[in-house]
Amino acid sequence: MSHPEVKSKWFADFKKQLPRVDGKVFAVTGTTSGTGYVAARTAAQYGGTVLLLNRPSERSTKSLASLKEAAPSGTFEQIDCDLQDLESVRKAAEVVSSKYPELYCLSNNAGIAAHEDKATKDGYDVQMQTNHLSHFLLTSLLLPSLGRGAERHGEARIVNHSSDARKMVKKLEARYFEKRGGDLGGNGSGLSSPNFQRYSQTKLANAVFTQALHEKLAAKQSKVKVLACHPGASSTPIIDGLPLQKESWFLSLFKYFLQSAEDGSMGLIRCMMGEGVKSGVLWGPSGWIHGMYGPAVSIRTRPVEKDPEMMNMLWGKSEEACGPFGV
């Protein structure tokens, strides 16, 4: 399916509530379109310096030009970061750390959905590496910069972009974190397809990672907050690849309840910029089925997302892939 244009309903009023963020540096992955683009634009419009972590491409070049036009007084810097290449992530983190030693917010926004069963050059499932493992690595490498940013500003933030697809699997499975890309169920069509199951594993991983890191930092009385968000059913490019061809009844309803990328970005932006947000909380819409629609609100953490066994497994497998986290 392709994503249609949808008019925003809540974003204009939401934006009026946001504080200025002058002097604060935001690093955001996946800003060429969708919620990441809106978040980058908004942070810049409110005074932030925004680092755009994207793969080198014509899309990233065009989106940078568009962002500069939308926020002419904003400060942007494009930093090459290919989440399907762990070495590229390490290089990007080195650039960010050296040029911006006091980072206020790392927004782990980028993601892909329902891709074919294949491995990255590092051997991991392309969805798990893009959506979780590379963000785990990036967060680890930028944590010292975030710590210094927290000392300067009184707090810093890590934001992980999950999805309500996290609810479509009962628990995390270790095999999805291992070097088994291309050997994780094959491909298919529909919400029960292996493609979508792999995606759902990555989105649950985002939520579990948030809780695990929140607990570790809270135990050290860190001023770095860890939050998660979900966009609901938003009309962004990520839905173009969803395997919904056989769910015609669901597809009709899904299209009807789609919200705009701006409205879908409200949870992400609240986590990045909103006043008074608490660490360990997930923000997103709560309306209709599974929270697909509506203004962003705080969402109760589900037991599986803070289950010690799940957190320990995720942490161990992620460190096997990326190296020690150092927290």
Q: Residue 327: inside a domain, yes or no?
A: no
Q: Please tell me the number of Cα atoms within 13 Å of 200 on its side-chain side.
A: 19
- In a domain? residue 6: no
How many structural domains comprise the chain? 1
Q: What is the pLDDT of residue 129?
A: 99
Residue 227, domain CATH: 3.40.50.720
In a domain, residue 3? The reply is no
Which one of the listed residues 203, 225, 293, 317 is annotated catalytic? 203
91-128 residue pLDDT tens: 999 999 999 999 999 999 999 998 899 999 999 999 99
Q: Which residues form the domain of 278?
A: 11-319
The answer to whether 5 touches 234, Cβ cutoff 8 Å, is no
pLDDT at 315: 99
Q: Is 325 among the domain residues? A: no
Those residues of the chain that have pLDDT short of 50 are 1, 245-246
Residue ranges of E strands in the chain? 25-29, 49-54, 75-80, 105-108, 156-161, 224-229, 282-284, 297-299
Cα–Cα–Cα angle for 223, 53, 284, nearest 5°? 60
- Establish if 49 belongs to a structural domain: yes
Residue 80 has φ and ψ, to the nearest 5°, of: -65, 125
* Helices assigned H by DSSP within 173-256: 194-219, 248-256
DSSP for residue 227: E
**Other CB atoms within 10 Å distance of the CB of residue 220:** 10
Task: Verify whether residue 176 is a known catalytic residue.
Answer: no
Instruction: Determine whether 203 is an active site residue.
Output: yes
Q: Which of 37, 199, 293, 317 is catalytic?
A: 199
pLDDT for 233 = 64
Q: What is the pLDDT of residue 311?
A: 99
**What pLDDT, on a 0 to 100 scale, did the predictor assign at position 1?**
45
Residue 239 is predicted with a pLDDT of: 57
Please report whether residue 135 resides in a domain: yes
In this predicted structure, what is the pLDDT of residue 246?
Answer: 47
